[in-house]
Structure 1
Amino acid sequence: MPSAVDVVLPCLDEVLALPWVLGRMPSWARPIVVDNGSIDGSAQVALDLGATVVTADQRGYGAACHTGVEAATAPLVAVMDADASLDPADLALLLAAHEAGGDLVVGRRMPVGRGAWPWHLRLANREVARRLNRRTGLRLRDVGPMRLCHRADLLDLAVADRRSGYPLETVVRAAEAGWTVVQVDVPYRPRAGRSKVTGTPLGVVRAVHDMTRVLAG
């Protein structure tokens, strides 16, 4: 398979996960680790493991994603978490769905093992998906953290959110632009370390606020 995909990996203190994640990267994909204020040496570890490393000066998941997409040069770009909850090898599933006609391919998380996806976060995600589908006419069951599409088209969407609402806004804008949005199942494992987005009550509140703002926009 040709080298045609740049993989954006937003990163905030993922030193425990990066060796596994980068070691599982397909030969046809180029990892771009976007350091978003790490203090655990993640950037150096990523460099030592051969990844391209860029810095997102603005804090926030969406800011890191946008910085990585801007730094990408391949025709196709994927975005996925760098916390070892998702296997880069499964990007092949998204690429196949894209080649079959999906403009934007989203990975639907299928929990593997205890603690992979706590029930309260699953419930919240189900409600977000319900509201997204009602607004857009899509039939998604998850707005997951693994996505793939054409880089230039993604930039043209002009996604504005720079925090937790970035994935949701990406899907909303894609649907409004008439994209074919498809979903494929991907295994979802317990992450390495604590989530910076939903690992604390404050993080959950912020994520819900960001997503609510996107859906109300």
Structure 2
Amino acid sequence: MVRVTDSITPRADVVLPCLDEAAALPWVLERIPDGWRAIVVDNGSTDGSATIARAHGATVVHEPRRGFGAACHAGLLAADADVVCFCDCDASLDPGLLPGFVRSVEEGGADLVLGRRRPQERGAWPLHARLGNIALARMLRRRTGLALHDLGPLRAARRAPLLGLDLTDRRSGYPLEMVVRAADAGWRIEERDVPYRPRTGTSKVTGTWRGTWHAVRDMRTVLREPATTTAANSRTRAAR
């Protein structure tokens, strides 16, 4: 059953990057708020994820170039709602929490809302992945001055300003690049606690030390980049 959305919450598109998430997709898609559009970006799945997504009413976009950022950006380009949300497709995060994120953006409380993951069960967040996230959050605070604790994938912002950030990373650095460029542009960034559960299936990024190392490497590359000219000069907040 699709979760019913508060009638005062505007419609939004939810981008769901997907690589072999057949087991998790039904739970995730059933929790998309009523009236919203789920955009499942198939990043080369071989387990029938795209077919399952369509059967549950999602719009399916195929992105042949592998990479978390490639999938996220393809979904952003396919979106047409004023506000776009992002959520992992592995059932570790509940997209049913997103109406609160969207209301904060729509009401002018924030330009970008991020979910701070709070593990609910043992094993929800492997130690190596958590340590990598802590290190990156510290580097992010030094780079931007923002008191953020997490680079969680559950987030919401307006589509047009997101596109205006000119994000270029197409690997694991995409979520961090979004935050860094938004900070450089003077966006108000809000962090909200969200429950974090053990994922369904095997992680393609942070499920192993090797995957975590690659993700941290990609993100450190983003942090070493100087502020973009567009972001540094415009200092323009997301349109409200």
Aligned-pair CA distance for 1:100: 4.7
| 1:214 corresponds to | 222
Q: Which has the larger radius of gyration?
A: 2
Q: Flag structure 2 segments of 5+ consecutive residues without an equivalent.
A: 1-6, 226-240
Mapped to 2, the partners of 1:173 and 1:204 lie a distance apart of 23
Give the 5 Å matches for 1:111-130: 111-130=119-138
Mapped to 2, the partners of 1:65 and 1:49 lie a distance apart of 20
Matched, 1:184 2:205: no
Q: Pick from 30, 50, 57: which aligns with 1:23?
A: 30
Aligned-pair CA distance for 1:203: 1.4
Q: Flag structure 1 segments of 5+ consecutive residues without an equivalent.
A: none
Matched, 1:58 2:65: yes
Mapped to 1, the partners of 2:116 and 2:85 lie a distance apart of 14
Matched, 1:155 2:163: yes
Matched, 1:87 2:97: no
Give the 5 Å matches for 1:86-105: 86-98=93-105, 99-105=107-113
Q: Determine if contact 2:83/2:156 at 8 Å carries over to the other structure.
A: yes
Tell me how many residue pairs correspond in the alignment: 217
Question: Residue 207 of structure 2: SS of its match in structure 1?
Answer: coil
Aligned-pair CA distance for 1:10: 0.0
Q: Determine if contact 2:10/2:102 at 8 Å carries over to the other structure.
A: no
Structure 1-normalised TM-score? 0.97
Name the amino acid aligned to 1:9. L
Question: Residue 109 of structure 1: SS of its match in structure 2?
Answer: strand
- Cα RMSD for the two superposed structures: 1.1
Structure 2-normalised TM-score? 0.88
The alignment-based identity, stated in percent, is 59
| 1:45 corresponds to | 52
Mapped to 2, the partners of 1:104 and 1:3 lie a distance apart of 16
Mapped to 1, the partners of 2:190 and 2:95 lie a distance apart of 19
